[in-house]
Each structure stands twice: as C-alpha cells, then as structure tokens.
C-alpha cells in the first residue's frame, strides 16, 4: 500500500541549483553516519534483529533492463550508484532482496515482460522499484499502484528511492530537471556507474526529440529535446578512456537533433569527441532520423570516414510509402531518406546503413507495403529491424483504423523473407580486415569484433585478443556475421590508455578522478546545511 508520503513525493519537479548536494555529497553524508558501538555482553532482541535487517544499503539488488542503448546507459548509472552506496548487485534474482525493473515502452511485448516481472517479484515477496519509460509515461497504471518509481530524469536519486522501498515506503520521483527554467538533458554524466561491458561506454548525448510520431509512446516519457553541453560530453568521454574503455556508443532518441536546443549541432560535438579518441579506439553513432541529418550530410560523411569512427549509421525509415509516413507524422518523405542513404554510400565507401520498418501501420495498403518491399530489395540493408505494428495506449495511432492482425503478421513474414533472401557479406570472404574485439558471442564460443563498418566478425576466443585491435583474414560469411582468422605475423594493438575496470567494478567514483590528478585521498565532503539535510531525509 502507498504510504502517506506518496502525495508529497509524486510529480515533484527536481529543480537544480548550485546549493543542491551533489550525488557525491549525498554518498559522503551516508558514509559519515557512525553506528553506536555495542558492548559485547549486550544481547540483541528479536525486534532489534528485525530492525537491523532493514538498514538500507545492506541488501542485494537484481536489476533487469529492457529496451534501447539509452535505457541501458540509465541502468548502468543506477547500478553504479547503488553499488557505491553499499548495496550488492547480483545476477541471481532469487537471492535478491530488491528487484529494480528498468522498463521500455516502445512495444507491447516489452511492457508485458515488465508487468509479468513485477507480478513474479511480488509473488516471491521481493521489494520492487520500477524505472524507465513505462512508469514515466503512465505512472497511474493499476499494476504500478504502491510501487516506488524512479523517473527517467531522476536516476541520480535511485539510492534514495531504493532506501525508502527497503523500509516499506512508496516514493515516486517523476519530475523534470531544470536550470533557470530550461529543461536539462537529465542526470549528471559524472555519476558512478557499472558498465555492462567494461570496454564500452554508452553516452546519452540528449534526451527526448523534436518529433511527434503518432505511434510513439517514448515521447510521452522522454519529452521534448534536451541536450547535454558539449564540454560535459567531452569530459565524460575523456574519463571513460582513462578507465580503459576502447569503444564509445553515442545514444539518444534522435542523435541528429542534438544541440538544436542549446545552439550547437551534432557535427560540432563529433569533431570535439574525435580529438579525445585514442588510436585504435572507436566511436559508434546512435540512431538519427532523416530530417535532422539532411542538413549535415557533408560533415557527417567526413566524420564517418574518420579512422576512429565506425562508418555506420542507423537511420529508421519505418515505411517507403509517403502516405504512411504522413500518417506517422515522420516529417520526411521517402526521397529524403534515399538522399541520405545515396549520399553517404557515395561519399563513405562501404558504409553500413541500418534501418527500421513497421509492418501493418494503420491505413497501410498493399500498394504502400509493396513500396517498402521494393525499397528493401533495392538497398539490401545489411541490418534491418522489422517490427509488426503494436498500437500503444494513448497514442494517436491507437485510435486509427487498424490493419487486421493476420495481415500485419503476413506482411511481417513476407518482409522477413525478403531480408533473408540475400547475404550481405559473401563478397567479403578473402578480405584482410582490422577489427576491434570487445564482446563475447551469445554461445560463448567466440569473441565478437567489429570492422571499420561495424560489421560483426567472430574471432577465436583467446584472452590476449579482448579489448585489442587485431588483423584477421575473413574465411566465412553468414547472414549477420563473418568469421576471421588472425594473421599469424601480426601483433594485437592495445587502444586502451589504461587498464579496463573489472566486470562489476564501479566507474566514475570521486576517488578515481582525484587519484588520476595525483592524490590518493578524496577530499572531505562539505558539511550539510539544514536545507541539504531536509533534501536527504525527504528524498
């Protein structure tokens, strides 16, 4: 049941000012609490034992994240702050005391999994805290009643929310972060985090977008465009490389729109970031919609040709029918999309263009769908995300006349068959390629590397290859990957300028940055003011 503080905590707008305590100061305040010493002969009563077991910061937490890279980055930040505060992150949900469920609202199945996980946790009498786009967009859903919620711009306060949930309280922080009335990109980028992969740093460059697509629920959660300043992003990248990262992913709901709200643009940011990338390390751009990348094509081609930037761009088309695109309110026509792809293919030889397509959008005719089929046949996209349309509650598309379910299913199947009718990598067998090894394959049989075009290359699982740039000869090609044999007389090159963190190790702690500046001791936290203490107590 919700506690009496729910009405106080819900929809509080988080105003940022210079007098607010930083996350580091909040953490220092927690650590400065000294427990009363107990004499050896004192015995603990049952009540005291029960109370001690509810001391926040001593529990095990299991976190599950659904959705995009932006959501995964948020999850990494939340895990890092919790671990830095004393909580133990676990991969075993059964041993966890608290389940932190970080949701995605893009499609019905993702929300169904999220809702089922809540019920499963409650059946196992686990404490539940929810985050991500689902509760942000619809916090009053019946199945969220009584649960603590961390808003998408409130992830820097995850420790406070979990602390209260452990004590049996329900807290909801859903407000937007603002500075002088201007909406901010979100929580600070220098928070502690636990990278899912210590070699890869995911940086959210902005939140929200400038579009109003009729099918999109994410807009309800992430809102309008709000970009991080270039200096903050550059500093985050710099710190990541200092921690042994060799690959950076830039993410947002629309990277192409970056900076329009703060008087800058994506190419300006990218040229600054490129200056920080060590030799052999790589930068991967996230998804961009066609309208905002069109005016930057010349600069984007130069950037994608840079040796330390993957020649890869994810540009969702969604449909090749102008009629359907108009109903979607996508703000471009199919010729705009083709212009982007054609220009980049001409100026960036070998570039990989990934795209998304929705099958069965309301009002889509057979003629509309055939235009999409023809587009895929013409461009033979090596990476294609095919989505059967799901009406999301509260969106304009959910109120439109729907295409029958069996038709949507058939069109999805037909498009999948077209996609699987060609092999994009067969012509690359016999090539010699430089690849950066960063991951392990799902079956744990290979290491996963990527070449300049962000094409997946499987290489032998030898420990000396992890995090290295190596030279391979391609000897086999599948639909989604190639296999490479290491060239015997070549030596692996190490792009990392420092030893990578261990898996599960917390990044971005204050001690790390002070150590790098020549001091082994973190400076003492400033004393809390009465106002700061009030914030810490009420969260």
Residues 435, 376: one domain?
Answer: no
Three state DSSP letters for 406-430 = HHHHHHHHHHHHHHCCCCCCHHHCC
Residue listed under structure tokens 């695109």? 325
The torsion region of residue 230 among left (phi > 0), alpha (psi -120 to 50) and beta comes to alpha
For residue 53, the model assigns a pLDDT of: 54
Alpha-carbon distance of 530 to 142, in angstroms, equals: 37
37 domain-assigned: no
Residues 478, 452: one domain?
Answer: yes
CATH number of the domain within which 279 lies? 3.80.30.20
CATH number of the domain within which 435 lies? 2.40.50.140
Residues 207, 128: one domain?
Answer: no
Alpha-carbon distance of 298 to 419, in angstroms, equals: 30
Residues 230, 331: one domain?
Answer: yes
CATH number of the domain within which 132 lies? 3.40.50.12160
Residues 350, 462: one domain?
Answer: no
Q: Which of 117, 267, 283, 136 is nearest to 202 (CA)?
A: 283
Sequence-separated (6 or more) residues with CB below 8 Å from residue 356: 314, 316, 317, 318, 384, 385, 386, 387
Name 436's bridge partners: 450, 469
Residues 95, 203: one domain?
Answer: no
Residues 296, 354: one domain?
Answer: yes
For residue 510, the model assigns a pLDDT of: 47
Task: Count CB neighbours of 516 within 10 A.
Answer: 12
- Enter the DSSP assignment of 143: G
Residues 213, 241: one domain?
Answer: yes
Structural domains in the chain (count): 3
443 domain-assigned: yes
pLDDT tens for the 539 residues of the chain, in order = 444 344 333 333 333 334 445 545 545 544 443 344 444 444 444 444 344 457 787 899 999 999 888 889 999 999 999 999 999 999 999 999 999 999 988 887 888 999 999 999 999 999 999 999 888 888 888 999 999 999 888 999 999 999 999 999 999 988 887 777 777 777 889 999 999 999 999 999 999 888 889 999 888 878 889 999 999 999 999 999 999 999 999 999 899 999 999 999 999 999 999 999 999 999 999 999 999 899 999 999 999 999 999 999 999 999 999 999 999 999 999 999 999 999 999 999 999 999 999 999 999 999 999 999 999 999 999 999 999 999 998 999 999 999 999 999 999 999 999 999 999 999 999 999 999 999 999 999 999 999 999 999 999 999 999 999 999 999 999 999 999 999 999 999 999 999 999 999 999 774 433 333 333 323 333 333 333 323 333 32
Residues 204, 307: one domain?
Answer: yes
Read off the pTM.
0.81
Q: What is the pLDDT of residues 405-420, one digit of tens each?
A: 999 999 999 999 999 9
Of 422, 451, 485, which residue is a domain's last?
A: 422
Three state DSSP letters for 215-272 = CCCHHHHHCECEECCHHHHHHHHHHHHHCCCCEEEEECCCHHHCCCCCCCCHHHHHHH
Whole domain around residue 104: which residue ranges?
60-178
For residue 7, the model assigns a pLDDT of: 34
For residue 55, the model assigns a pLDDT of: 79
Alpha-carbon distance of 240 to 194, in angstroms, equals: 12
Residues 367, 328: one domain?
Answer: yes
């Amino acid at each position: 049941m919700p506690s009496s503080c729910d009405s106080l905590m819900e929809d509080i707008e988080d105003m940022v000012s210079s007098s607010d305590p930083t996350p580091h100061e909040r953490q220092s305040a927690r650590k400065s609490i000294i427990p009363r010493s107990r004499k050896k002969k004192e015995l603990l009563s049952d009540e005291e034992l029960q109370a001690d077991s509810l001391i926040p910061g001593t529990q095990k937490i299991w976190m599950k994240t659904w959705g995009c890279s932006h959501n995964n980055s948020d999850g990494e930040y939340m895990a890092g702050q919790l671990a830095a505060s004393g909580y133990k992150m676990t991969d075993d949900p059964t041993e966890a005391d608290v389940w932190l469920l970080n949701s995605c609202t893009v499609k019905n199945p993702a929300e169904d999994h999220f809702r089922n996980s809540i019920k499963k946790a409650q059946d196992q009498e686990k404490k539940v805290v929810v985050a991500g786009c689902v509760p942000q967009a619809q916090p009053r859903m019946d199945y969220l009643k009584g649960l603590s919620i961390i808003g998408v711009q409130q992830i820097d306060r995850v420790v406070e929310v979990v602390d209260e949930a452990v004590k049996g309280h329900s807290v909801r922080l859903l407000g937007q972060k603002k500075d002088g009335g201007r909406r901010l990109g979100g929580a600070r980028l220098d928070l502690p985090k636990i990278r899912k992969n210590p070699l890869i740093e995911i940086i959210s460059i902005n939140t929200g977008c400038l579009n109003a697509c009729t099918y999109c629920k994410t807009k309800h959660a992430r809102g309008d465009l709000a970009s991080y300043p270039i200096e903050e992003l550059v500093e985050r990248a710099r710190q990541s490389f200092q921690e042994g990262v060799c690959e950076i992913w830039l993410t947002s709901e629309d990277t192409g729109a970056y900076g329009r709200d703060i008087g800058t643009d994506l190419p300006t940011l990218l040229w600054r970031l490129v200056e920080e990338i060590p030799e052999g390390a790589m930068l991967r751009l996230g998804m961009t919609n066609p309208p905002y990348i069109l005016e930057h094509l010349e600069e984007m081609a130069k950037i994608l040709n840079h040796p330390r930037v993957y020649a890869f761009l994810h540009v969702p088309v969604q449909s090749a029918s102008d009629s359907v695109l108009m109903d979607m309110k996508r703000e471009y026509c199919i010729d705009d999309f083709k212009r982007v792809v054609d220009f980049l293919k001409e100026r960036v030889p070998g570039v990989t263009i990934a795209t998304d397509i929705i099958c069965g959008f309301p009002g889509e005719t057979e003629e509309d769908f055939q235009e999409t089929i023809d587009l895929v046949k013409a461009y033979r996209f090596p990476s294609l995300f095919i989505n059967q349309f799901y009406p999301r509650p509260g969106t304009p598309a959910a109120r439109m006349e729907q295409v029958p379910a069996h038709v949507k299913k058939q069109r999805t199947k037909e498009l999948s068959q077209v996609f699987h009718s060609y092999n994009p990598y067969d012509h690359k067998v016999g090539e010699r390629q430089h690849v950066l090894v960063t991951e392990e394959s799902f079956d744990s049989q290979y290491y996963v590397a990527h070449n300049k075009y962000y094409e997946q290359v499987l290489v032998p699982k030898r420990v000396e290859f992890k995090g290295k740039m190596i030279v391979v000869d391609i000897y086999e090609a599948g639909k989604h990957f190639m296999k490479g044999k290491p060239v015997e007389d070549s030596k692996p090159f190490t792009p990392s300028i420092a030893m990578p963190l261990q898996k599960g190790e917390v990044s971005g702690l204050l001690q790390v940055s002070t150590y790098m500046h020549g001091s082994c001791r973190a400076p003492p936290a400033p004393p809390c003011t009465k106002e700061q203490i009030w914030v810490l107590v009420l969260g």
